[in-house]
Every structure is written in structure tokens, then in C-alpha cells.
Structure 1
Amino acid sequence: MDSWWSLGDWSGFRGSELATNEIVCPFCGERGNWSAEFSAQKRQPNGYKILHYDTLKCGSCASFVQAFWSAGSGLHDFRVQPWPLKVCKAPEHWPEAIGRYWLQAKRNIKDESWDAAAVMARSALQLSLRDQGATGRTLQAEIDDLASKGVLPSLMRDWAHEVRALGNDSAHPAPSQAPTEAQDARDIVQFLDFFLEYSYSLPKKINDYRARRSTA
């Protein structure tokens, strides 16, 4: 997105009204319990888009957030500040089991449980590979299988092997093995983010674009 005027044009949520049911309170964690306290709009000069600036009040803890949002052709998207510091859920278009392990990896990073984060990242990776049809007796073989089929480009293959290697160290530790370094765990979970973005979020964005173009 190269302009805020493009918000909601290519991806986001169905409909032209703000999906407050998707907004999580950054203070108490309540989802979707909002009332609108203030609203302002700005219309695009010589265009059709409208940018919305809504102040929302949480019905649970009475805290406030600002939702900045805009609608395109059948979609809308938003940004909220402040945002939750705790990761509460995986994207809905990801397979449930993969999202569950990814969420645990994220929470283990937050809790500074570095070994556990690496193991959960490895599990999420392996589930994703199998979901995409990988075969092989080991995780290494499954990664190379998808790479040989052209599903994974070489850079994604290399990242996947990094997740596998660190996860293996934590899942099958030796008595003299050093603990997982904090930065290594953070890097591996970030690599997993890229992998799942490539595997699931990017295809969804492409499909949303094609759907929008087919009805234009």
C-alpha cells in the first residue's frame, strides 16, 4: 500500500461498515464490545474514497481507541491505535491447527520461553508443509519435497530449514546443550511469520483482488 487512500481497496474485511467485532481492546482484551464516541471523515480530493476517524469506547473497561478505516469495492480495512501488545488470535484464513501452534509460539516469545517458542514454531512449520501436500519421513525431507515441486522458492526453503534446525535442538535436547538464545527464538518466529504470510495470506490477497476485479 503506497497511500492511505488505498486502504481497503485490495484486502480486508467484507462490507463497507467498520467490523468492530474484529477489534480487540488493548487494555482488557475484550473483543467487539465497542460504542462510537466520535466520528470524523475526510473525502478524497477529486476521488470517491472516504477516510474515517472513529473514537471507540470499550464497553468492558471504558478505555478508548482510535480506529482509522476506509472502504473500497466491497471490502474495508482498518488500523487501530493503541493496539494489543498480546497476540490474541491467528488470522482466520489460516488453518486452525497451524494458527494454534503459531499463537503458542508468539505467546512463548512474550513470556521469554525461548525453547518452547522454537518448538512451537517448528510444529507450525511442519503442519503447514503437510497441509500443502509435503511428503517425506522427516521434516527436512518434507521441506525439500515442496521445494522440488516448486511450491517453495529457494529463499523460503532456506528459512524453513532454519526453523527446523532450531526447533530440533529444542525438541531433542542433549544434556550439555546450551539454551536457545532469545534473539534466535525471535528470529525464527519472525521467519515463521514470513512463511505463513507467503503460504496463506498472500494467496488470500490475490484471491480477494481477483474477486473484486470479477465484479467490477
Structure 2
Amino acid sequence: MWPAAQSVDEAVPARAKDFLEQAVKSLQAPAGAVILAASSVDAMLKEKGLKEGSLYKRIDTAAQQHLITEEMAAWAHEVRLGANDQRHADDDAPLPSTEDAQQAIEFVQALAQFLFVLPSRVARARGK
């Protein structure tokens, strides 16, 4: 039995939200879920204005600009690398497990909270 569908807050930009919702719905296909999770990270960083270069560079730039912490950047790189293994069908890379996919999704959910949901809630609470 798979977990119940999780809703994604409306404060998350549409493209990132769509990728994240699809990742959650794809847990029974972990390789696909991991790729979708990484796509959501990419879409979030682009929404924050980081559009140049590779996802690797955008993650590092996000940390350098203090959009995310160094620890969050390290986790984002783990998600990115997990997706790369699947996108490139690397012979030496094992297929991800459901637990691997769930961990990637949990990071993306945390990133969405940090970058979009919490700032939106603060702005609403402060009447902005």
C-alpha cells in the first residue's frame, strides 16, 4: 500500500509544484520519482532567478547567495546525482529504492517550505 497523496502548498510555483506532485504520485516507480524530484529542485532555483549554467552550478550559487544553507546544497546535490544516475542509465548505478525516492521527495518538500511556503506565510501574517 502506498502513502496517501500529499498536497503541495499553493505558494510553490506551478512548474516546481507540478514536478513535486508527480514525484509523490510516482513513488511506485522510484527512478522516475527521483528524476521528477530533481526537476522540481531545478524549477525552484530557476524561479528564484538562478537560470544560468547547470543544476550543479545553480545549487552552488544558491548556497553562495545564502538562498539555501551549505547542508541543503549538499542534500540538493545528492538528489541531483541520484537523478543523473537514472537519466544517464549509468551501468554501475543501482536503481533507486522506494526509500531513496521518498528521501529525495522529503528534501524537495523541505526546500519548497524554505524557499516559498514559509516566506509566503510570513508575508501574509505581516499583512503584505
Cα separation, 2, equivalents of 1:189 and 1:137:
24
More deviation in 142-151 or 167-176? Answer: 167-176
Amino acid aligned to 2:39 = S
**Contact (CA 8 Å) 1:108, 1:117: kept in 2 or not?**
yes
Match of 1:200 in 2: 116
Mapping of residues 33-112 of structure 1, within 5 Å? 85-87=4-6, 89-109=7-27, 112=28
Cα–Cα, structure 1 residues 143 and 173, in superposed 2: closer, same or farther, change >3 Å? same
Match of 2:34 in 1: 118
Structure 1 residue 116: deviation in Å?
0.3
Structure 2: gaps (5+ residues): none
Structure 1 residue 90: deviation in Å?
2.8
Q: Of the two structures, which has the highest relative contact order with CA contacts closer than 8 Å and spacing of 6 or more?
A: 2
Specify which structure has the higher proportion of strand. 1
What is the root-mean-square deviation of aligned Cα atoms in Å? 1.8
Cα separation, 1, equivalents of 2:64 and 2:5:
37
Cα–Cα, structure 1 residues 176 and 166, in superposed 2: closer, same or farther, change >3 Å? closer
Q: TM-score, normalised by structure 1?
A: 0.55
Structure 1 residue 99: deviation in Å?
0.7
Structure 1: gaps (5+ residues): 1-83
Cα separation, 2, equivalents of 1:166 and 1:95:
23
Specify which structure has the higher proportion of helix. 2
Q: Provide, for residues 22-70 of structure 1, a one-character-per-residue CA deviation record: whole Å limited to 9, x for no partner.
A: xxxxxxxxxxxxxxxxxxxxxxxxxxxxxxxxxxxxxxxxxxxxxxxxx
Say whether 1:143 aligns with 2:62: no
Q: How many residues align?
A: 126
Cα separation, 2, equivalents of 1:209 and 1:176:
50
Cα separation, 2, equivalents of 1:115 and 1:130:
23
Say whether 1:127 aligns with 2:36: no
Over the matched positions of the two proteins, sequence identity in percent amounts to 24
**Contact (CA 8 Å) 1:135, 1:145: kept in 2 or not?**
no
Cα separation, 1, equivalents of 2:95 and 2:72:
26
Mapping of residues 136-215 of structure 1, within 5 Å? 136-211=52-127
Cα separation, 2, equivalents of 1:144 and 1:176:
26
More deviation in 171-180 or 185-194? Answer: 171-180
